[in-house]
Structure 1
Amino acid sequence: MLELSPAALSTAGVAVLAAVTVTSGGYFMIKVATAKVPATPFQTSFFRAGHAHAGVFVILGLVCLLLTEATGLTGGWAWLARTGVLCAAILMPAGFFLSAVGRGRERPNRLVILLPVGAVLLVAGLLTLGVGLLTA
């Protein structure tokens, strides 16, 4: 049986609880798709992208968390490998959703900056974990 470190256990618990927000995002998407929430085509596409990224990245983040336990990474490197993708799972969907809010919006607002910030954490976490696995 795989034994998880205390850091991995607490991070996994938070991630699983945070996955509930993906469910609420799905409910919101149903309202957008059925026109109960008015949205421009731009908003609809950004809301869909935010919801999809959230779901995929939470699952990928949990896998990365488990795989980090198989590495010899410590300190900040272990943190980055364990949580980089999970941070991206928050930042990137937030960038999609928050940059598209507002009646009749046709273009993203300044919060679109969360997308590249999240992408940097995603790539950094994946690279760190990949190197950690190859050197374990």
Structure 2
Amino acid sequence: MLDSAHQVIAGAVLLTVIGVAYGGRFVFTGVAGRFPANGLQKSFFRAGHAHAGVLVLLGLVTMLLVETSEVPEPFATMSLAVFVAAILMPTGFFVSVIGKDPVRPNRAIALLWIGAGVLVLGLLSAGIGLIVAGLTP
């Protein structure tokens, strides 16, 4: 059972899926040629949308596993970093190709790599925490 704080987090995250769905509409219109976007932009828009959806689901699954397994601190709190990655990585994909006909990503691509590091931190924390919880009598 989730405590009230994690219920609020889960509810808020589920509401963000509405934004991910709207993002899918945006990606579709760009790929369909309804607004000007070059190949780089189309690829990055697809990748950003895919990462948003997958990471939101991964964050929810991670949170459920950690909370129902009584993972100890600080692992439990640090595992929430998966949700932070679900914001940073897609943002890096989308924002790094803003502009008219970019030929390569701009400096905002750093958000993607920062997000990847945060994702690793969250998953390491969850994985190690689950192992510790499983080995603790």
TM-score bin, normalised by smaller chain: over 0.9
1:67 to 51, 59, 65: 65
Per the alignment, residue 106 of structure 2 pairs with 109
Structure 1 segments (4+ residues) deviating >6 Å: none
Unaligned runs of 5+ in 2: none
2:34 counterpart SS class: coil
Normalised to the residue count of structure 1, the TM-score between the two structures is 0.92
1: CA distance, partners of 2:4 / 2:113: 30
1:52 to 41, 45, 50: 50
Q: Where in structure 2 are the equivalents of 1:1-136 lying within 5 Å? A: 3-69=1-67, 70-74=69-73, 76-81=74-79, 83-136=80-133
Cα root mean square deviation, aligned:
1.1
1: CA distance, partners of 2:15 / 2:57: 12
Q: CA deviation at 1:77?
A: 3.0
Once the two structures are aligned, what percentage of the paired residues are identical?
Answer: 47
Normalised to the residue count of structure 2, the TM-score between the two structures is 0.92
* Cα distance per residue 1:95-130 (max 9 Å; x no partner): 000011111111111111101110111000001000
1: CA distance, partners of 2:4 / 2:47: 33
2: CA distance, partners of 1:99 / 1:115: 9
CA contact (8 A) 1:43 1:106 kept: no
CA contact (8 A) 2:55 2:82 kept: yes
2:104 counterpart SS class: coil
Q: What number of residue pairs does the alignment pair up?
A: 132
